[in-house]
Amino acid sequence: MIDEKGKLFGYVSLIDIFVVVVIITIVVFGAMQLGNTGGIGVLETPQPLTMSFIIENLETFTADSISIGDPVFGVQTGVDFGHIVDIQRRPTIEYHSNNQGVLVASELPNHYQIIITAAFSGFPMQNGVWVMGHTFLVGETIILGAGPTNIFMNIHEIRKG
């Protein structure tokens, strides 16, 4: 089988076979890595989603500048999150000790907890969403452009539909 020159059947050397196997392995591995989109297939279509963003302490003038229907986008990524479909506004609650050492809750004047819900299309993932080549996870802090303002907000919830 292998002659004195190290050729298999007199035609191909073992080193040549080894080099070909290594090249094929590298090409296959590279193709798999380039095609990996986190389980999102090329033929899949984006699904309608809603994503809620939360901020615990927003001043009144900023809260008043945001309206239903305003566009929503990621400032750092440029990702379009569609438009605002719901705004929940609650007073910001602070906790502090009174003179007797008891923990008491009180409203912080002119500050609100805001939850903005936006409707858009994307690819749902476990605990997150993939949109325009970017992954966003629940709990992640992003700079959100909402209407005329930019706000540091946490991703609160992602739902289908």
Sign of the C-alpha dihedral computed for residues 118, 56, 89 and 109 taken in this order: negative
Q: How far is C-alpha 99 from the chain's CA centre?
A: 45
Angle at 142 between CA 137 and CA 145, to 5 degrees: 125
- Write down the pLDDT at residue 128: 92
Sign of the C-alpha dihedral computed for residues 11, 15, 19 and 22 taken in this order: positive
Question: Could you give the CA distance from residue 71 to residue 118 in angstroms, rounded to a whole number?
Answer: 9
Q: What is the mean pLDDT of the chain?
A: 87
Average pLDDT over residues 144-158: 94
Q: What is the pTM of this model?
A: 0.69
For tokens 């990702």, the residue is 79
- Write down the pLDDT at residue 37: 53
For tokens 């020159």, the residue is 5
- Write down the pLDDT at residue 3: 66
* 55 pLDDT above the threshold of 90: yes
